[in-house]
Amino acid sequence: MNRWIFPALLLALAACSPQTELTDPVARGERDFNGLGCVKCHQIGDKGHAWGPDLTMLGFRKSEAWIDQWLKDPHAWNPKTVMPNFNLKDAARADLVAYLSAQKGQSWAVKPWTTAEAAALPAAERGKIIFNSVGCVSCHAKDGYGGYPNNNVAGGLVNSLTKVTEGYSKAELHAKIKGGAIPIPSDSSKPLPMLQMPKWGDQLNEKEIDAVVEYLYTLAPKGAPGAKPSKDDF
Ligand code: HEC
Ligand code: HEC
């Protein structure tokens, strides 16, 4: 190849590139979220695919510090995760963290549990949609089995919810979900637990919390003695 053609081609390509410089980290993060293919597995609002957790409310349930750590190396937090490590540069990761932390549910035109179809369902089934959409599932796992890692808590895992009927009346469960809880660290000399039970009363109304309570109550039979979750469940 003529030694000038290659650089000339590169220049031409650079000139055609539609990358206008975005000054807002949130906008850059959104561009990269779409460009890197995160949307193949994740949904934000009505866009993307719900193969992995729905991220529409990620910024409410997870801290910036946790999101940053997760994107840096998902397997360091959860060795079993199927989420790939994208080996992101620090600047690109910071933009994604800015975009994802800003996701507090505003991207839903219609919340998935308030559609006409969902409204006609029994409360427990509507509660299941809430559980999965707002992301209880991202900490307590599918059907509340628990098992996702958390640092510095007894057992090193977020607790299972399959036996809450044994410890809580419906009213107590409602209050717990509404008010949230900071887990008690198992070792005071180590960093505080990064996953905390959010104060859902800031995001869900009384009826929505009641529906979630009804759903959690349906989980109890699966936690019956001897019934162990399979490893494929999370
Ligand atoms: C191949 C599918 C896949 C791709 C692609 C993918 N993820 Fe994930 N991601 C997952 C799965 C699955 C989980 C849930 C963790 C688990 O159970 O393994 C997850 C978890 C997450 C979480 C934590 C979710 C929560 O609710 O706490 C964040 C944040 C996240 N991914 C961001 C991203 C970003 C940003 C990208 C693109 C750079 C991306 N993911 C690409 C599959 C994927
Ligand atoms: C960011 C992670 C996270 C998310 C998201 C989350 N939780 Fe929790 N949840 C926790 C942690 C950690 C605890 C343990 C708190 C403690 O030690 O008291 C907990 C505790 C609970 C408990 C008390 C269980 C018990 O055995 O005492 C209930 C009930 C519960 N969560 C329900 C929910 C529901 C319903 C949602 C969604 C609306 C939800 N959680 C979302 C982390 C989370």
State the pTM of this model: 0.90
Containing H/E element for 43? strand 43-44
Pocket test for ligand 1, best of 28, 42, 97, 157 (most atoms within 8 A of CB): 42
C-beta of 174 in contact with ligand 2 (< 6 A): no
Q: Check if 20-101 and 112-227 are the same fold.
A: yes
Protein residue whose Cα sits closest to atom 36 of ligand 2: 136
Angle at 104 between CA 103 and CA 105, to 5 degrees: 100
Domain limits, the chain: 20-101, 112-227
CATH number belonging to the domain at 112-227, selected among 1.10.760, 3.30.160, 3.30.70, 2.60.40: 1.10.760
**Which residues are within 8 A (CB) of 139 and not within 5 positions of it... i.e. 6 or more apart?**
61, 148, 150, 158, 195, 197
C-beta of 52 in contact with ligand 1 (< 6 A): yes
The CATH class that applies to domain 20-101 reads: mainly alpha
C-beta of 201 in contact with ligand 1 (< 6 A): no
Tens of pLDDT, residue by residue, the chain (234 residues): 455 555 555 555 444 455 568 999 999 999 999 999 999 999 999 999 999 999 999 999 999 999 999 999 999 999 999 999 999 999 999 999 999 999 999 999 999 999 999 999 999 999 999 999 999 999 999 999 988 999 999 999 999 999 998 899 999 999 999 999 999 999 999 999 999 999 999 999 999 999 999 999 999 655 454 444 544 444
Ligand nearest to the CA of 219: 2
